[in-house]
Amino acid sequence: MTDDMYDISILGCGPAGLSAAVNAFIRNKRIIVLGMEVCSPPLHKAQKINNYLGFYGINGQELLDKFLEHARAMQIAIRHSKVELITINEDGTFNLLVDGEVLNSRSIIIATGIPYKPTLPREEAYLGKGLGYCATCDGPIYRDKDVIIVANDAEGEAEAQYMAEICRKVYYLSLYKNIGKLDSRIEMIRDKPSEIMGNGCVKGLLLKSGRVIEAEGLFVLGGETAPDRVIPGLEIVENHILVDRDQKTNLPGVFAAGDCTGKPYQVAKSVGEGQVAGLNASQYAGSRN
Ligand SMILES: Cc1cc2nc3c(=O)[nH]c(=O)nc-3n(C[C@H](O)[C@H](O)[C@H](O)COP(=O)(O)OP(=O)(O)OC[C@H]3O[C@@H](n4cnc5c(N)ncnc54)[C@H](O)[C@@H]3O)c2cc1C
């Protein structure tokens, strides 16, 4: 085992992820917490939380600030990055792809919030059949071919630049405003996506205007990431990660907590499940040392 191995990698810095972090940290585990800049988008939006014990009438952002203060007071650092992909090694440890860097971990806690809403209809039917979520990962497959990038945020721009270097043609359809300056080889599409074209494999994209763009590859970038896209093989039932009472998933060493495991979508449930996941992941990681 290498020195740069984390005991537990926690995806999400909302109530579930932070609760898991606090409990694992108390058990002396080497942890990393990853999440976006706004650690809990739903809590940030909540005007009033009247049912979290001890904080009657608190504003959602204030409660989130208290959770973050708690983590900071314990010197728990949060890395504001998204985990793109997790792969499982033969020895049962995990590799996490984060900002192009690979992190190593003995166990994983997924606390990524409510289930993913796909950007395009029937995305799942084309996954791996011309549709991908990481252009820089799959790029070489599309060398000298035409690809379409549908980007939910500006992070797609760097991937489009990269694809412009290797593909015959790159079409860029942004679903956000304030697009930066792109390579002249990239064709901007000022339209809305309607439907993926192709019988079994991606052949192109039908736009709202009725125009069809033909391409062999389609990348949907940014936005939310479904947990089973992050860790292939994770069992999902009715859009939620299947867990037992120990917050274990079907994959050994992978735990899940919070809204991603099912209703009720509530802070108290998230904090409770986070604690159970934190304790059980600590035990698991300890047994693999
Ligand atoms: C308007 C509104 C009002 C609400 N009111 C209440 C209320 O009164 N009482 C109550 O109990 N609950 C309320 N809720 C619900 C509550 O906010 C959620 O149940 C709670 O925030 C869920 O916590 P979570 O940690 O599971 O997920 P979230 O808080 O959604 O956190 C998910 C985290 O995962 C991160 N993430 C996602 N994908 C990745 C990835 N690939 N890599 C790394 N990080 C990732 C995100 O950046 C985020 O940090 C309300 C929600 C809303 C929207």
Please state the atom number of ligand 1 nearest to the C-alpha of residue 83: 42
Token pair listed for 18 = 């932070």
- Chain centre distance of CA 64: 20
3-state secondary structure 127-143: ECCCEECCHHHHHHHHC
Encode burial over 33-61: b for 16+ CB neighbours within 10 A, e otherwise: bbbbeebbebbeebeebeebeeeeebebe
Looking at the fold, whether 104 and 233 belong to one and the same domain comes out as yes
Cβ 258 vs Cβ 270: under 8 Å: yes
Least reliable range by pLDDT among 1-5, 51-55, 129-133: 1-5
Domain that holds residue 89: 5-116+225-287
Specify whether 141 is located in the same domain as 181.
yes
Same domain, 110 and 247: yes
Q: Nearest residue CA, atom 35 of ligand 1?
A: 12
Rounded distance between C-alpha atoms, residue 174 and residue 185, angstroms: 16
Least Cα distance to 222 among 277, 154, 167, 289 occurs for 154
Q: Give the strand pairing for 5-11 and 101-110.
A: parallel
Amino acid, single-letter form, for residue 89: N
Q: Is the pLDDT of residue 2 over 70?
A: no
Give the domain-ending residue among 195, 221, 247.
Answer: 221
CA neighbor of 107 nearest in space, from 32, 34, 40: 32
235 and 94 together in one domain: yes
% of the chain at pLDDT higher than 90: 82
Q: Is the CB of 43 under 6 A from ligand 1?
A: yes
- Taking the mean position of all CA atoms in its chain, how far away is CA 47? 25
Q: Are 30 and 103 in contact (CB under 8 A)?
A: no
109 phi, psi to nearest 5 deg: -120, 125
Token pair in block for residue 272: 């409770």
Place of tokens 């020195």: 3
34 lines ligand 1 (CB under 6 A): yes
From 221, 237, 259, the end of a domain falls on 221
Is residue 258 in contact with ligand 1, taking CB distance under 6 Å? yes
**CB of residue 225 inside a 6 A radius of ligand 1:** yes
Alpha carbon 289 to its chain centroid, in Å, reads 27
Residues 238, 111 within the same domain: yes
CA nearest ligand 1 atom 3, residue = 46
| 3 pLDDT tier (thresholds 50, 70, 90) | low
Q: What does the mean pLDDT of the chain come to?
A: 93
- Domain total in the chain: 2
**1 SS3 class:** coil
Could you report the per-residue pLDDT of 131-149, keeping only the tens digit for each? 988 887 788 899 999 999 9
> How far away, in angstroms, is 122 Cα from ligand 1 center?
25
- Joined together, the tokens standing for residue 128 give 């791996």
Q: Indicate if 98 and 167 belong to the same structural domain.
A: no
- Residues 158, 107 within the same domain: no
Determine the pLDDT at residue 260: 96
CA 14 to ligand 1 centroid distance, Å = 6
In terms of domains, do 105 and 235 share one?
yes
pTM, to two decimals: 0.81
CA angle 15, 19, 20 (to 5 degrees): 120
b/e sequence 213-222, b meaning 16+ C-beta within 10 Å: bebbbbbbbb
The CATH number linked to 174 is 3.50.50.60
CA distance 235 to 244: 12
Residue 239 has what pLDDT? 85
φ and ψ at residue 14, rounded to 5 degrees: -80, -170
Query: Which of 18-22, 120-124, 180-184 ranks highest by mean pLDDT?
Result: 18-22
Mean pLDDT of all residues in 117-126: 87
Is 39 near ligand 1, meaning CB less than 6 Å away? yes
Task: Give yes or no for residue 241 having a pLDDT over 90.
Answer: yes
Range list of β-strands (E), 16-159: 31-34, 78-79, 83-88, 94-98, 101-110, 131-132, 146-151
The pLDDT tens digits of the residues spanning 67-82 come to: 999 999 999 999 999 9
Q: Which residue among 221, 236, 254 closes a domain?
A: 221
112 lies in the same domain as 233? yes
Residue 259 confidence class, pLDDT cut points 50, 70, 90: very high
- CA-to-CA separations, 41 to 20, 114, 268, in angstroms, rounded: 18, 10, 16
Is residue 106 domain-shared with residue 231, that is, in the same domain?
yes
Question: In this structure, are 147 and 164 located in the same domain?
Answer: yes
Determine the pLDDT at residue 139: 82
Mean of the pLDDT values across residues 167-171? 96
Q: Are residues 162 and 245 in the same domain?
A: no
